[in-house]
Structure 1
Amino acid sequence: MAWIWLAFAGLLEIVWAVAMKQSEGFTRLWPSMLTLVAMVGSVLLLGLAMKTLPLGTAYTVWTGIGAVGAFVVGILFLGEPLTAMRLVAGSLIVGGLVLMKMSST
């Protein structure tokens, strides 16, 4: 169950990152509110996952899901560039996440 909580926490990490971008420096109300709600939800779910998972594993996977997810959303929906170097960097993060999951008991 901890991995499910962690996956949802990571998804909320993506939501708040994108909402923060859309809030334009917290000058727009609804994206700002979504940012705060998603942040709180993400941290609460991370806390639930950490009841079972090691700190290093849980935190690394949580931030990795958020980082790669925000990277993908930026490319697909916000017109951010997809360069070879950025693709390699994203792939290395995903590889690290897979290794972290495989190393967890």
Structure 2
Amino acid sequence: MHLDLRDKVLVYQYASQSDRSHQDDATPTSPPPPPPPQLTPYERASVDMLAGITRLLERQSERPGKSHEEDVAEWFRKQGPKYFSGTIDPLVSEEWI
């Protein structure tokens, strides 16, 4: 049977989840799931990378508070920068910089 990478990832994730759920049970009520298909090293690395990205995104979405961009903008405003008048005179613009 030929499985593409997406199918292998789904089978791998299902097997990993069911392994974790059966670790807490003293007596399994259903037969163990079939072993995950053999992944090539490249496929295994891709699965691990996607799992890591997923964990990172989940942690970031759980973190309350401001984003980094908001923090930088707030810090900049606190510095009290000079207001730019919007002139097209290059000497005035140069002085503002």
**Structure 2 length as normaliser, TM-score?**
0.40
Larger radius of gyration: 2
| Greater RCO structure (CA 8 Å; 6+ sep) | 1
Please identify which structure carries the higher helix content.
1
